[in-house]
Chain A
Amino acid sequence: MLSKLSSLLRVTAVRLSIIYTVIFGVLAIGIVFYMTGATVNVLREQYQASIDNEVTGLARIYRRGGVNQLIRTLDRRARAPGANLYVVTNPQGQIIAGNVPQMQRGIMRKIGWTKRAFRYQRFDDQSDTEHRAIARVLEVPNGMRILVGRDVSEYEDITKIVGGGFKLALGTMVALGLLTWFFVGRGALKRIDQVSKSSQRIMGGDKSERLPVTGSNDEFDRLSENLNTMLDQINHLDDGVKQMSDNIAHDLKTPITRLRNKAEEAFSLEKKPEEQQEKIADIIDDCDSIVKTFDALLMISRVESGSTVAKLEPLKASDILTDVYELYEALVEDDGKHLTIELSLPDNLMIKGNRELLSQAISNLIDNAIKYGGERISLVGTHASDTLEISVIDNGAGIQEEDRTRVVERFVRLDKSRNKSGNGLGLSLVKAICDIHKASLRLDDNQPGLIVSMKIPVMDQ
């Protein structure tokens, strides 16, 4: 219970509302005290003024008619209903007239205003209820003392009523505050507990677990939604890494196994040096192709993880295309095929890119076309508004529509190409290079054949 209370107190909303309640309470107490104090003062001043009036009047009567007249007047006034308090004492201090049979001792001893309200009893009140009053005492020349007072229970009642109301209000406020803290705090704690529990399940390995979203669209929901999106992304990356390590396991271990087998074979060929030499040359080739696969993988993962691989600089679009064309043209011709270049772009069209990487991408595409395409291959460069489109087009068998997305993935090789050399990373690398250049990669049907196009943003002229 205590720990629950202390955890409730750690909720920010609860702490804030406690602080507000305390500040508000202190202010309210101050205002109430001030208000009641001011009201009481005003009433007291009014009472004192009316007593002063009466005293002045009595003094006039005394001057005109002497003691007897004064006492008669007092006697008459004292008998009036709801009258003020009147007491007359002889010089010995005994009450000789008035409407107060008993009162607090010593009141008559001091001339002037009583310091504070005093207790007294009334003639007309049969009950034993005590009354309180303020009064002024004066002495007439023959030594008699006269007290004129006024009951103050009226304004003391006001103080009591205000005080009572105040206590009730304060009590209600504290009770409501506690209730609010409890519900607000418990609500917040519940949400936080849910989030903690979900997080623990995620940490425990349940990758499909997500933080609760209530649909109220409050700050907790927004936080949860963002964290959930983040988790989705992490999962996606995680899957990528997992797929990558599976790929590495399969696509690097397979050639390494082959390599080992060949090395064993070569070892056993010690009596046939020529065959052994051949085997060893084969082994070196295999090593090189493993290194190539490894390099391509590293490059792709560096690009995908966002760590910069290369600086982009202004490049002349036509140069990139003609240079690669020129490198491959002879090879394709020698293969009995045709490679043509078609450029329909301004001579000075500039793009922001890396010559090395773009050339490698185009080279990979031409290489694919040589291996899997038909006998006519075109390298096409076109310019449309703000993009440079580089396409490699062949008239071979093409790729079925359902396979076109898949072939871009790492290590994916279509069945018909399995018997040819290659590591299944060519298009993945092209995709990665496109990503660096904020370019799109598209595979289309050439009917027959394949069109692979990269759309690269051009620089402002």
Chain B
Amino acid sequence: MKILIVEDDEEAAKFLIKGFGEAGHNPIHAADGETGLHLAKTEDFDVLILDRMLPKLDGLSLLKQVRAEDNHTPALILSALGAVDDRVEGLRSGGDDYLTKPYAFSELLARVEVLAKRTGNDDSETTLKVGELELDRLSREVSREGQKILLQPREFRLLAYLMKNAGTVVTRTMLLEKVWDYHFDPQTNVIDVHISRLRGKIDKDFDEPMLLTIRGAGYKLQEPEKAG
């Protein structure tokens, strides 16, 4: 996918371009806000990655101008400012996600891939299906290969999020943000326990695991056939 990276720090930009290139994407770099705005307006991108503080035009103003033209390309804001208010301001300016520096590349990659997938895919779908795993948002029923699985409300939301982003890596922080709506970092890995409980319910009685742990990144839910 085609990604616009607006980042003024040369080292950081190089690191991102290399990383996204290796992940099989097509990153385009702009070193200042004005160039970034010009590119965002004239070319089609799958995702915009905007540094908040940029020369000539800051990231939030850039994004506001892009959104003013009815351009809804998903945008992720990178910032050294991490307080609750900073995040809220970033999202209010039209950002779809907000990541505080310094970040792990795996975190950024996972978020960008989830953002890119989201276009044209919203929460209004009442049923989700990944392979033989089915989830019904209305009846709140989950089944795998026709066998009913009983889930706690939070487990249900966790699975729904994983299924919506099936095939894509999601990080612990993303789960904490999207499923629990917490943006702080609990000192202990609370998410792991919830994942292992969910895994106990959806994978335990079946031969092929669907919920995989991706080392150094997070988790991925996928159809068993692909697991190979």
What residues of chain A have their CB less than 8 Å away from a CB belonging to chain B? 281, 284, 287-288, 291-292, 295, 298-299, 302, 308-311, 323, 326-328, 330-331, 334, 354-357, 359-360, 363-364, 367, 370, 421-422, 426
Contacts and interface: CB of A to CB of B under 8 A. Distances in A.
A318 to B, nearest CB: 15
A308 B184 contact: no
Contacts of A298: 82-83
Interface string B101-119: 0101000000000000000
Contacts of B102: 287, 291
Contacts of B15: none
Nearest to B86: A309
Contact of A302 (B83, B186, B187, B193): B83
Contact of A370 (B104, B180, B188): B188
12 contacts: A308-B85, A310-B84, A311-B85, A311-B88, A323-B180, A328-B190, A330-B197, A354-B84, A356-B184, A359-B184, A363-B182, A426-B187
B104 A309 contact: no
A360 B180 CA distance: 12
A310 B180 CA distance: 19
B24 interface: no
A435 to B, nearest CB: 15
B84 A367 contact: no
Given A309-B84, A311-B85, A327 B187 contact: no
Contacts of B88: 311
B228 to A, nearest CB: 24
Given A363-B186, A426-B187, 18 more contacts: A291-B102, A295-B100, A298-B82, A299-B83, A309-B84, A310-B85, A311-B85, A326-B154, A327-B182, A328-B190, A354-B84, A356-B84, A356-B183, A357-B84, A360-B184, A363-B182, A367-B186, A367-B187
Query: Which of B82, B83, B154, B189 has the most chain A CB atoms inside 10 A of its CB?
Result: B83
Contacts of A426: 187
B185 interface: yes
A331 B188 contact: yes
Given A309-B83, A311-B85, A356 B194 contact: no
Interface of B: 82-85, 88, 100, 102, 104, 154, 180-190, 193-194, 196-197, 216
Contacts of B193: 330-331, 334
A281 B190 CA distance: 21
A327 B181 CA distance: 11
Contacts of B181: 355
B219 to A, nearest CB: 15
A355 B187 CA distance: 18
Nearest to A357: B84
B188 A367 contact: yes
A291 B183 CA distance: 15
Contacts of A422: 187
Contacts of B186: 327, 363, 367
A158 B194 CA distance: 113
B216 A281 contact: yes
Contacts of B183: 356
Contacts of A357: 84
Q: Which of B104, B180, B182 has the most CB of A within 10 A?
A: B182
Contacts of B154: 326
Contact of B182 (A284, A302, A356): A356
B105 to A, nearest CB: 10
B6 to A, nearest CB: 23
A359 B182 contact: yes
A73 B168 CA distance: 147
B126 to A, nearest CB: 25
Contact of B104 (A284, A326, A421): A284
A284 B194 CA distance: 25
Nearest to A368: B187
Nearest to B153: A326
Given A291-B102, A292-B185, A356-B182, A331 B190 contact: yes
Give the one of A323, A327, A422 with max B CB within 10 A: A327
Contacts of A364: 187
A115 B104 CA distance: 115
B194 A330 contact: yes
Contact of A327 (B84, B85, B180, B197): B180
Contacts of A287: 102
B82 A295 contact: yes
A391 to B, nearest CB: 19
Given A284-B104, A359-B184, A327 B82 contact: no
A284 B107 CA distance: 13
A367 B185 CA distance: 11
Nearest to B155: A330
A287 B100 CA distance: 14
B85 to A, nearest CB: 6
Nearest to A326: B154
A172 to B, nearest CB: 71
B222 to A, nearest CB: 24
Nearest to A302: B83
B155 to A, nearest CB: 10
A295 B180 CA distance: 21
Contacts of A295: 82, 100
A357 B185 CA distance: 11
Contacts of B83: 298-299, 302, 309-310
Contacts of B100: 295
A316 B83 CA distance: 22
A330 to B, nearest CB: 4
A292 B181 CA distance: 19
Nearest to B179: A327
A311 B188 CA distance: 27
Contacts of B188: 331, 367, 370
B190 A327 contact: yes
B128 to A, nearest CB: 22
Contacts of B84: 309-310, 354, 356-357
A311 B197 CA distance: 35
B154 to A, nearest CB: 6
